[in-house]
Amino acid sequence: MSGKRPSILNSLGAGKYLFRRPKTIKYPFELKEPAPRYRGFHLNDWDACTGCGNCEDICPNEAIEMVEVPELEEAPEEGRTNLRPQINYGRCCFCGLCVDVCPAGALRLSRDYLHIHFDTDTFTFIPKDQKSAGEKFLPEEEYSVLKANLDHRRQDYEGFSQDLDFSLFRLDRVPMPQVPPEERKLSFIEQVIGYTKEEAKGEAERCLECGLCEDACPAGLNIVDYVGAIYEDDPDESLRQIFKDNPLPSICGRVCMKHCEDACSLGKQGDPVAIRWLKRWTADSIEDYKRSLELTPGEDKGKKVGIVGAGPSGLSLAYFLRLKGYGVTVFDSLPGAGGATRIGPPQYRLPLDAIEKDVNYIASLGVEFRFCTTVGEDVSFEEIRDVYDAAYLAVGNSDPLSTGIENADKAHLALDFLRSNKIGEGVEVGREVVVIGGGNVAMDAAREALRLQHMQHPETSVVTKTVSLEDWDELPATGEEVEEAREEGIQFNPAWGPKKIEVDGDGRVKGLLCTKVKSVFDEDGRFNPSFDEDREKFLEGDTIIEAIGQKPDFSFISEETFGKLEFTERRKVRVNENGMTSLPGVFAGGDIVNTNLDAVTAIADAKVASEGIDCYLSGK
C-alpha cells in the first residue's frame, strides 16, 4: 500500500453524490416516528395505580416523589392510597426502572419527548393517563410537534411499557405444601404443612417493602420489618417485630383474615406475598419464645385489672398490661384460653397445641388465669368491678343464633357442634348433613361434618350440603375457604332460604324445605331478605346444623349496670377513643365492639384499651 502514492484526485469521486436526493429529514415538516419502545415522558393509569411508592424507592435519581391528590378517595383496606407519583424531569434519566418495578403495571413511558421552557418549575409533572384526563392530551388532528410539551401531549402514544417476564418482581408465590383434598377430607391432620426455611426466605424475598399492608392491617403490625427479618435469616428479630403489636403469632398465622394480603401491591397482577404463612413460619420455627424475645413484665404499678373472656382480645390485653406492670386476672368459662379460636376453627385449621404455644408464653409473663369460672355465676361482674381497679369486657359473640323455623330444636347449633368435636366428646353425624349458613363458621361446620362422616361411616357414600341466603358472589366466607370446601366435594345451594325441617314419624330428621331467595339486602343495604314463595326445593338430610351467626351474651351484667351501658345503632358496645365504655373503669374490645369480627381486630382493640387503661389508672 505504501509503495504507490495514491493520487490526490481520488476524492473527486465523491462528486457523484451531488446529483443524489439528500438524506436530510426536514424536521418540522417531515416527522421521524419514535420507535414503539421509545422512553419518553411518563404515563400513569390512575385507576390501576395504588400509590404504593415502589417507583419512588427504585428511582436512582430520586426524581419521583409521591404526592397527595385530594380528589382521589383513599381505601387502605383495599391497598389504595390517594398518593400519585410526581416526576421531576430535572432529575429523571428516562431509564424506565420505575416501569419495570410497578406491581400494578400502571406506570409506562410514552413516546413524547418535547418539553422546552425557560422556567425550571414547569419540569415537574404528575403524569395522568390518557383515558381519564382529556385536557392533558390532544386528539390526533390537533397535535402539532411545535405545540407539544408537558402540558398537552398526543393521545394514547404509549412507548416503553411493562413486560411481565422482564419485571423486577416475581408475581407467583412460592407454592405452600398442602395435603391434597382427597386425603385431607378423611382426617383432621393440619391441611397447611408450612414452609421450610428456604421456601420462607424465597417468599419473604418477594416483598417490595412498599408498606401498603401495614396501613391495611387493623393492628398495624410492622410487616415489612418482620418479613425482611425472615429474608435476612433472623427469625428472632422477626418475632420481636411481630410481638410489638401481636402476641398471638401462632394463632394469627393460621386463622387471620389477612387484610394485609388483600392490600399487597403484588396482588394487583399476581399472588400477594404470603404474609400470614410467613408469620406462622416465624412462630413455628422458634421453639421457645422466651429465649428470643427477652421481654420482661414492667415494674409493678400496684394496680390490678380483671379481664372477662380469654379470647384473642383478652389475651392480648393481658400481655400488653403485663408489659406495663399491671397485675392481670383473666376469667373464662372454657377449660382453656383462646375463646372463639379455641372452640371455633377445627383441628385441621387451628390445632390446640398452636393455641397453647401462644397462651403459655403469655401465662409465663405472670398472668393469672381463672378457667371454668363463668362471670355471673361463680363470680359476679360487680365483684370484679370493686376488687379490680379496671375491668375489660372481651366476651365475644358466644351465643349462637337459631333460624327459629319449624322443628328448629332438632338441628345442632354450629358453635356447640364445633366445640364438642374440638374439646368435648364429639357428635354423631348421619350420612347426609345439611348446613344452614354461608359464613366461615358454616364452612368450618360443613368441612368438619364431612370429616366426621368419613370417619364414622367409612365405606358408605356420604355427602354434606350447605344452603345459604347469599348468592355465590355475596358469600361472607373468604374465597379460599369456599374454594377448599368445594374441592372436598361439599355441595353448595346458594340463594336458598331455610323454611321448614321435615321430620318423619318418630321424630327423626328427613330433610330441609327451602324457598328461593330474591334478594338478601334491601335497597339501603340492611339485612332483610325477600323470598320467592312459590319456588321451593327439598334437601334430604338426616342431620341439620345451623350456622347463621352469633350474638353476645350479656346476661352476666346486672340489670341496672346494663341499663347504663350504651350501645351503637349496630348493637355494638359504644367505646370512646381509649376503649372505655360508658361505665367508668370498664373497657371493652373484640367482637362485641368492632364489626370485622376477627382475631386481629380484637388484638387491635386490646392495644387501644391497654393505652386507655394505662392513662385511666395512672390518673392522667
Partner 1 sequence: MDRRQLIKWLKEPLKMSNKYSLHVVYFCTGCGIIEIPPSITARWDAERFGVKPVATPRQANLFLITGYVSLKTLKPIIRTYEQMPAPKYTVAFGSCPIDGGMYWDSYNTINHLDKYIPIDGYIAGCMPRPEAVFAGITHLWTLIDEGKADGYKKYRRNYSQYRSNQERLYGELGWPPRFETEGLENE
Partner 2 sequence: MEIISEKKKGGSSRELELYFGPQHLGMIGNFSITLNVRGDRIVRAEANPGYLHRGFEKLMEGRSWIQNFPLVCRVNVIEPGSMEMVYSTAVENLAGVKVPPRGKYIRCIYLELSRIASHLFGLWAYSKTLGFETVGGWAMYHRDLILDLFEELTGGRVYNIYIWPGGVRRDLPEGFEERTKDVLHEIGEKVPDYNQTFFENRLFHERARGVGVVSREEAMNTGGTGQVLRATGLEYDIRKVEPYGVYDEIDWDVPTREDGDAYSRIMVVRDEMIESVHAIFKLFDKLPGGPVYNKIPNPFKWNIPEGETYVRLESSRGELGLYLASDGGRKPYRAHFRTPSYPHGLTILEKALAGESISDTGNIMISLYVTAPEIDR
**Residues in touch with partner 1 (CB under 8 A):** 22-28, 31-32, 41, 60-63, 88-94, 113-118, 120, 123, 145-146, 150
What is the Cα–Cα distance from 620 to 618, expressed in whole angstroms? 6
Partner residues linked to 297 by β-bridges: none
Q: Which residue has the cell 388484638?
A: 603
Binding region for partner 2 (CB under 8 A) out of 3-11, 125-133, 314-322, 330-338: 3-11
The conformational region for residue 158 under phi > 0 = left, psi -120 to 50 = alpha, else beta, is beta
Binding partner of 145, given partner 1, partner 2, none, CB within 5-8 angstroms per partner class: partner 1
What is the Cα–Cα distance from 183 to 14, expressed in whole angstroms? 84
Binding partner of 120, given partner 2, partner 1, none, CB within 5-8 angstroms per partner class: partner 1
Question: Residue 7 CB, nearest distance to partner 2 (Å)?
Answer: 6
Cβ nearer to partner 2, comparing 207 with 391: 207
Q: How many CB atoms lie within 10 A of CB 458?
A: 9
What is the Cα–Cα distance from 225 to 207, expressed in whole angstroms? 10
- 610 membership: H or E segment, kind and range: helix 599-617
What is the Cα–Cα distance from 137 to 567, expressed in whole angstroms? 53
Residue 490: which of 460, 474, 466, 518 has the closest Cα? 466
Pairing of strands 509-521, 327-331: unpaired
Q: Which residue has the cell 372481651?
A: 394
Q: How many CB atoms lie within 10 A of CB 52?
A: 30
Binding partner of 6, given partner 2, partner 1, none, CB within 5-8 angstroms per partner class: partner 2
Question: Residue 28 CB, nearest distance to partner 2 (Å)?
Answer: 18
User: Residues 271 to 330: which contact partner 2 by CB under 8 A?
Assistant: none
Binding partner of 207, given partner 2, partner 1, none, CB within 5-8 angstroms per partner class: partner 2
Binding partner of 18, given partner 1, partner 2, none, CB within 5-8 angstroms per partner class: none
If one asks whether residue 160 binds partner 2 (CB under 8 A), the answer comes out as: yes
Binding partner of 117, given partner 2, partner 1, none, CB within 5-8 angstroms per partner class: partner 1
Binding partner of 160, given partner 1, partner 2, none, CB within 5-8 angstroms per partner class: partner 2
If one asks whether residue 14 binds partner 2 (CB under 8 A), the answer comes out as: yes
Question: Residue 38 CB, nearest distance to partner 2 (Å)?
Answer: 6
Size of the site for partner 2 (CB under 8 A): 44
Question: Residue 55 CB, nearest distance to partner 1 (Å)?
Answer: 17
Residues 6 or more apart whose CB falls under 8 angstroms from that of 229 comprise 235, 237, 238, 241
Residue 537: which of 502, 562, 574, 512 has the closest Cα? 512
Interface residue with partner 2 among 36, 90, 424, 584 (CB under 8 A) is 36
CA angle, residues 513, 517, 521, in degrees to nearest 5 = 135
What is the contact surface with partner 2 in residues (CB under 8 A)? 2, 5-8, 10-11, 13-14, 17, 23, 32, 34-39, 57-60, 93-97, 101, 109, 159-160, 163, 165-166, 168-170, 205-209, 228, 231
